[in-house]
Amino acid sequence: MNKKFIIVFAALFFMTAAFSQAIKSDDRITLPLDSFTTKISLQAKPQIIDARSGEEFAFNHINNALNFNLQSQGYNGFVQLLNKSWPVFIYAINTGRSTALAKDLKSKGFAEVYDLEGGIANWIGSGQSYYTSVKRALSLAEYKNIIASNKTVLVDIGSRYCPACKKAKPVLDSIRDENPGKIKIVEIDLEESPQLIAELETVNVFPYLILYKQGEVTFKKGGLNGLKHDIDAALVKTK
């Protein structure tokens, strides 16, 4: 057998083995929103779990979702309410709590466990139906008025329970300090204005930043990585 062929074959073998092992070692399947919703639509009574805290759940959640996570009192009792032969759909804010729960359910014998990429931000931000206890929030008309009334507006969309959102606050403070009187920063929380987030139809993760210049969107970014650098660069372009 050709020596070169043997080397290539061996390399492919080990790459395939490593890939298979990686799949086996990951007990969850994180799905994009479209796949997540499609799979839910195929279930007569989908098993949906909100892995956030009770406080977060009380503000808003996916319709008919159960609320528990690994830290919940009576956790095993909640698990027993689920059917192991049916798919389980899990979400949180980011994938920390939902990933941990998904892995534990897989270890308990659940065959299909799906974790929503982008969590509740992705669900509500795409305009999917949800429950909310919020009675009065910033309306889309009020939002548009703020944008129209200011030359440069940076909108920060997130949640008071989101760790990444909290880390974004000092970044925004520094941007405000570096641009005194030149930029208006508007903070929108899921717990106060979920309907507005849904109506914007652009948010898919928290934090989510939108920069407006004279009423026009000039920059959008989801997530924390490179936030300061990207916003500074966007501000330079808008001058």
Range of the domain at 153: 140-238
Q: Which of 92, 113, 147, 162 is catalytic?
A: 162
Shared domain check, 125 and 41 = yes
Last residue of a domain, one of 101, 132, 163: 132
Interatomic CA distance for residues 22 and 29, integer angstroms:
12
Q: For the residues 37-54, what does the mean pLDDT come to?
A: 97
Question: Is 231's pLDDT higher than 50?
Answer: yes
Q: Report H helices in 137-218.
A: 140-148, 163-178, 194-200
How far apart are the C-alpha atoms of 160 and 187, rounded to whole Å? 11
SS3 192: coil
Residues 21 and 119 in one domain: yes
Instruction: Kindly report the CATH number assigned to the domain that includes residue 49.
Output: 3.40.250.10
CATH classification of the domain holding 211: 3.40.30.10
> Is residue 6 over pLDDT 80?
no
Per-residue pLDDT tens over the stretch 50-71: 999 999 999 999 999 999 999 9
pLDDT of 16 reads: 41
**Residue 196 DSSP class:** H
Whether residue 156 is found in the same domain as residue 78: no
CA separation for the pair 78, 67 (Å, rounded): 9
Same domain, 124 and 20: yes
Give Cα 234 distance to the centre of its chain. Answer: 23
Do 122 and 168 belong to one domain? no
Residues 54 and 105 in one domain: yes
Specify whether 23 is located in the same domain as 113. Answer: yes
DSSP notation for 105-158: HHHTT-S-EEEETTHHHHHHHTT---EE---S---HHHHHHHHHTSSEEEEEEE
197 within 8 A of 124, measured Cβ to Cβ: yes
Q: Is 162 in the active site?
A: yes
How is residue 34 written in tokens? Answer: 């479209």
**Mean pLDDT, residues 97-104 taken together:** 95
Q: What is the pLDDT of residue 17?
A: 40
Q: What local confidence, expressed as pLDDT, does residue 28 receive?
A: 53
| Residue in 88, 90, 165, 211 annotated catalytic | 165
pTM recorded for the entire structure: 0.85
The mean predicted confidence, pLDDT, of the chain is 89
Together in a domain, 149 and 120: no
- Using the predicted structure, report yes or no on whether residue 142 has a pLDDT greater than 50: yes
Count of structural domains, the chain: 2
> Taking the mean position of all CA atoms in its chain, how far away is CA 81?
26
